[in-house]
């Protein structure tokens, strides 16, 4: 006989948590469970022997403590217990509690609730109690097809935690075909899902299957249905006493699984009886005492030690403190400070009820009876290995800058803090390092000492290497006359440097506008996105000259015709020099009035006759559009007729 026992058989973490809550409360006054704490007669009978009574209402109950069943209850029960002033211990499975929260929130927001599950199951009844018992309950595919649903109404769909996944998927498909406005929440317990998948795999390979669990347990009955489908000889037993031994043969391959409400003690008893059939049972040690149910329950719990790395299931998040079920007699607590090395991380945004996480045991007893855990240390242990590999292999890694400190930055990589000195932040001086805070950046590990936990990162060489590659790529495509786009990275008195992606190009002040400007800051500011024309690209010197001037708007094109020699035009005095004054005829076109052409007398300084900004009439003497030069005369413009008369007389 070969016996295969499902790894997932027996108590799930939610049931185990509820059982622990009851046994831990025994001896502290009158104790009741609201409904059977779980669907298992052995457990409820054992609790009754300890004086724990199961009740279905609060009639006549005026003192004591009420332990809520793992299946959960409606909102009205909480209010009734509170109104009576009774103590309450909430044994509701975290997966079920999550459904309560979804239903309550969506119902308050105006959604009609649809619960997929058995309408007589206590879990479904409890869920319905969080939407004023107004939910639509769907048990089958036919019911889903015949539902009267409104197109203009919002719906929220949840499912009993122990429901068959394929059956739920089929019902959801029908609801989607109805094209209603619905949010679908797959709230099937992951532990239930795993248990059912395992039952399918094992039952296909066995001659006979034994499903252990209470016949009133929905979880157990679904396991029985699954196994029966794949293995005709499937038997549901509540304890070893229900086994009909003469149906089993020594050559049988027998599979054993159990519902989530089945204690490990009962599973052990069934396995022991099956072994006795082939005389393989281990005989009881002489003098060994009979284990009580409570002792067998304790024996099934895991053992923890400080420094252990274990997996657990999130069962509560309160004030950003995460409670984790470890299968131990006490739950574990992750304080917010031990959740992540990144202080900006909010635990409730990162993890949800029912999630399985890996944790480090800091202390088995934190003084309040809880196990003190750390997720940050797990990150740090794994992160240190990753950093060591990156250091050894000279790999580029990615980290988030969380702090700006004296002398540099702190970046977190997989939970490990890395210091990046200011000299290594960039290949050029960075005046304000705060611009990096919150950014995710790439860098190399340039120094690592695990003993001292000294880890230093650097970006300088990486950026220089990247810039060389970018420069090569840029110069392979850039050419005079081509338009390029970049960002103004630095301004000087003589121009602006524009980052083109790996290399800067220079826009000289004279190439910023066809008009006259005295400072680049009149036109640009750092961070501006600009489109410029390439004037010259010198790969050997690594220099690129740019211009913002629009060639099509060159005012010198046609200037010779517009400002014909001999014509009288108006202009504005814009600049004085010792030898004359420059007059702006239009934006981008200046002409020179030589000092000898300012007046019909000797002029010592242009300022004696002219003022900046003054509008004057001038005569065009000469135009050289290619050299962008125009010679003007104020003297001849003011007395053209007089000079002409004198010339004729001569």
Q: Is the whole-model pTM more than 0.85? A: no
What whole-number percentage of the chain has pLDDT above 70? 92
Please tell me whether residues 197 and 269 are part of one structural domain: yes
Domain match, 442 and 498 both: no
Share of the chain above pLDDT 90, in %: 20
pLDDT digits (tens, 9 = 90+) for 87-101: 988 888 888 988 999
What rounded mean pLDDT belongs to the chain? 83
Q: Cβ distance 309 to 378 under 8 Å? A: yes
Q: Are residues 212 and 242 in the same domain?
A: yes
Domain C-terminal end among 553, 585, 609: 553
Same domain, 196 and 184: no
229: in domain: yes
Task: State whether 404 and 340 are in the same domain.
Answer: no
* CA-wise closest residue to 261 among 93, 10, 9, 36: 10
Q: What is the DSSP string of 295-333?
A: HHHHHTS----TT-EEEEEEEEEETTEEEEE-SSSS-EE
Give the pLDDT confidence of 420-444 residue by residue, as tens digits. Answer: 998 898 887 888 888 899 899 999 9
* Domain membership flag for residue 64: yes
> pLDDT class for 130, splitting at 50, 70, 90?
very high
Q: Render pLDDT for 137-160 as a digit per residue (tens, 0 to 9).
A: 999 999 999 888 888 899 999 999
Calculate Rg over the CA atoms of the chain. 42
pLDDT at 286: 36
123 an active-site residue? yes
Any domain includes 534: yes
- Does 178 share its domain with 215? no
Q: Please tell me the predicted confidence (pLDDT) of residue 535.
A: 86
Q: What phi and psi, each to the nearest 5 degrees, are found at residue 316?
A: -165, 145
Query: How many CB atoms within 10 Å of residue 509?
Result: 17
Q: Indicate if the pLDDT at residue 281 is higher than 70.
A: no
**Residue 266's CATH number:** 3.40.1010.20
Query: In the structure encoding, which two tokens stand for residue 120, read together?
Result: 């007589």
Is pLDDT at 650 greater than 80 in this prediction?
no
Question: Is the pLDDT at 69 greater than 90, yes or no?
Answer: no
**The predicted structure's pLDDT at residue 280:** 41
- Is residue 133 over pLDDT 90? yes
**Cα-to-chain-centroid distance, residue 155:** 27
Do residues 334 and 351 both lie within one domain? yes
Q: Parallel, antiparallel, or unpaired: how do β-strands 253-258 and 234-237 relate? A: unpaired
Structural domain includes residue 53? yes
CATH of the domain at 355: 2.40.50.140
Q: Choosing from 20, 75, 108, 123, which is the catalytic residue?
A: 123
Same domain, 106 and 141: yes
| Selection from 469, 549, 462 nearest residue 503 by Cα | 469
**Rounded to the nearest 5 degrees, what angle is found at the Cα of 440, between the Cα atoms of 436 and 442?**
100
Give the C-alpha distances (Å, rounded to integers) separating 438 from 387, 401, 403, 428, 542: 20, 5, 8, 21, 33
Whether the CB-CB separation of 314 and 324 falls below 8 Å is answered with: yes
Do 119 and 176 lie in one domain? The reply is: yes
- Rounded Cα distance between 159 and 186, Å, is 6
Cα separation values, 94 from 91, 149, 263, Å: 9, 31, 19
Token look-up 């009844």 returns 125
Say yes or no to pLDDT of 288 above 50. no
Please give the tally of structural domains in the chain. Answer: 7
* pLDDT tens column, 315-360: 888 888 898 888 776 788 999 888 887 778 899 888 888 888 998 8
- Looking at the fold, whether 275 and 202 belong to one and the same domain comes out as yes
Query: Could you tell me if residue 517 is inside a domain?
Result: yes
Q: Is the pLDDT of residue 643 over 60?
A: no
- Residue span of the structural domain in which 236 resides: 191-284+291-297
Q: CB neighbours (10 Å) of residue 80? A: 17
* Ranges 43-47, 74-78, 132-136: which has the least confidence: 43-47
Residues whose CB falls within 8 Å of the CB of residue 202, separated by 6 or more in sequence, listed in order: 4, 6, 209, 227, 255, 257
Asked, for residue 599, whether it belongs to a domain, the answer is yes
User: CA quadruple 623, 627, 628, 629: dihedral positive or negative?
Assistant: negative
Among candidate residues 553, 574, 592, the one where a domain is terminated: 553
Q: Which residue has the tokens 């149906």?
A: 247
649 versus 203: the higher-pLDDT residue is 203
Asked if residue 229 and residue 148 are part of one domain, the reply reads no
The reply to whether 472 falls in a domain is no
> In the predicted model, is pLDDT for residue 290 greater than 50?
no
CA distance linking residue 316 with residue 476, whole number of Å:
59
How far apart are alpha carbons 260 and 262 in whole angstroms?
A: 6
Contact 128, 155 (CB under 8 A): no
Domain contains 578 = yes
């Amino acid at each position: 006989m070969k016996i295969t026992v499902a790894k997932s058989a027996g108590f799930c973490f939610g049931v185990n948590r509820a059982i622990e809550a009851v046994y831990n409360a025994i001896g502290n006054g009158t104790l009741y469970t609201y409904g059977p704490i779980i669907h298992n007669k052995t457990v409820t009978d054992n609790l009754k022997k300890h004086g724990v009574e199961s009740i279905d209402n609060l009639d006549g109950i005026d003192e004591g403590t009420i332990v809520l069943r793992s299946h959960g209850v409606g909102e009205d029960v909480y209010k009734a217990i509170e109104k009576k002033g009774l103590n309450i211990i909430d044994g509701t499975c975290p997966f079920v509690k999550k459904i309560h929260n979804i239903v309550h929130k969506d119902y308050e927001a105006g959604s009609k609730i649809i619960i997929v599950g058995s309408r007589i199951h206590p879990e479904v009844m409890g869920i319905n109690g969080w939407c004023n018992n107004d939910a639509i309950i769907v048990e089958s595919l036919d019911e889903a097809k015949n539902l009267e649903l409104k197109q203009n109404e919002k719906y929220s769909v949840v499912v009993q935690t122990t429901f068959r996944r394929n059956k739920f998927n089929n019902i959801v498909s029908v609801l989607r075909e109805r094209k209603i406005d619905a949010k679908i929440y797959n709230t099937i317990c992951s532990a239930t899902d795993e248990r059912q998948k395992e039952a399918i795999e094992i039952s296909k390979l066995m001659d006979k299957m034994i499903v252990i669990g209470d016949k009133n347990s929905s979880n157990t009955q679904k396991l029985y249905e699954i196994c029966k489908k794949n293995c005709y000889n499937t038997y549901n037993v509540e304890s070893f006493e229900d086994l009909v031994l003469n149906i089993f043969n020594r050559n049988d391959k027998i599979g054993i699984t159990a519902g989530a409400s089945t204690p490990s003690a009962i599973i052990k008893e069934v396995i022991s009886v099956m072994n006795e059939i082939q005389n393989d049972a281990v005989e009881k040690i002489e003098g060994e005492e009979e284990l009580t149910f409570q002792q067998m329950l304790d024996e099934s719990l895991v053992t923890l030690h400080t420094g252990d790395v274990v997996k657990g299931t999130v069962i509560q998040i309160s004030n950003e403190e995460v409670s984790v079920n470890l299968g131990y007699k006490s739950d574990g607590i992750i304080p917010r400070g031990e959740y992540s090395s990144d202080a900006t991380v909010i635990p409730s945004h990162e993890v949800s009820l029912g999630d399985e996480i890996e944790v480090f045991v800091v202390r088995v007893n934190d003084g309040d009876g809880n196990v003190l855990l750390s997720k940050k240390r797990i990150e740090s242990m794994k992160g240190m290995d990753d950093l060591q590999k990156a250091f050894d292999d000279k790999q580029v890694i990615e980290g988030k800058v969380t702090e700006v400190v004296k002398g540099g930055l702190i970046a977190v990589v997989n939970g490990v803090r890395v210091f990046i000195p200011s000299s290594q932040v960039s290949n050029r001086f960075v005046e304000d390092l705060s611009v990096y805070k919150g950014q995710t950046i790439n860098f190399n590990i340039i120094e690592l000492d695990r003993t001292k936990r000294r880890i230093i990162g650097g970006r300088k060489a990486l950026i220089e290497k990247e810039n060389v590659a970018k420069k090569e790529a840029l110069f392979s495509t850039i050419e005079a006359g081509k338009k390029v786009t970049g960002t103004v990275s630095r301004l000087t008195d003589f121009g602006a440097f524009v980052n083109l992606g790996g290399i800067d190009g220079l826009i000289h002040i004279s190439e910023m506008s066809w008009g006259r400007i005295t400072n680049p800051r009149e036109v640009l500011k750092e961070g501006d996105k600009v489109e410029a024309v390439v004037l010259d690209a010198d790969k050997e010197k690594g220099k690129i000259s740019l211009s913002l001037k629009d060639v099509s708007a060159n005012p010198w094109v046609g200037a010779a015709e517009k400002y014909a020699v001999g014509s009288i035009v108006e202009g504005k005095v814009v600049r004085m020099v010792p030898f004359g004054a420059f007059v702006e005829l239009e934006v981008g076109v200046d002409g020179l009035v030589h000092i000898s052409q300012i007046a019909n007398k000797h002029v010592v300084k242009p300022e004696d006759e002219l003022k900046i900004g003054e509008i004057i009439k001038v005569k065009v003497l000469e135009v050289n559009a290619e050299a962008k030069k125009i010679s003007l005369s104020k003297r001849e413009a003011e007395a053209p007729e007089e000079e002409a008369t004198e010339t004729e007389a001569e």
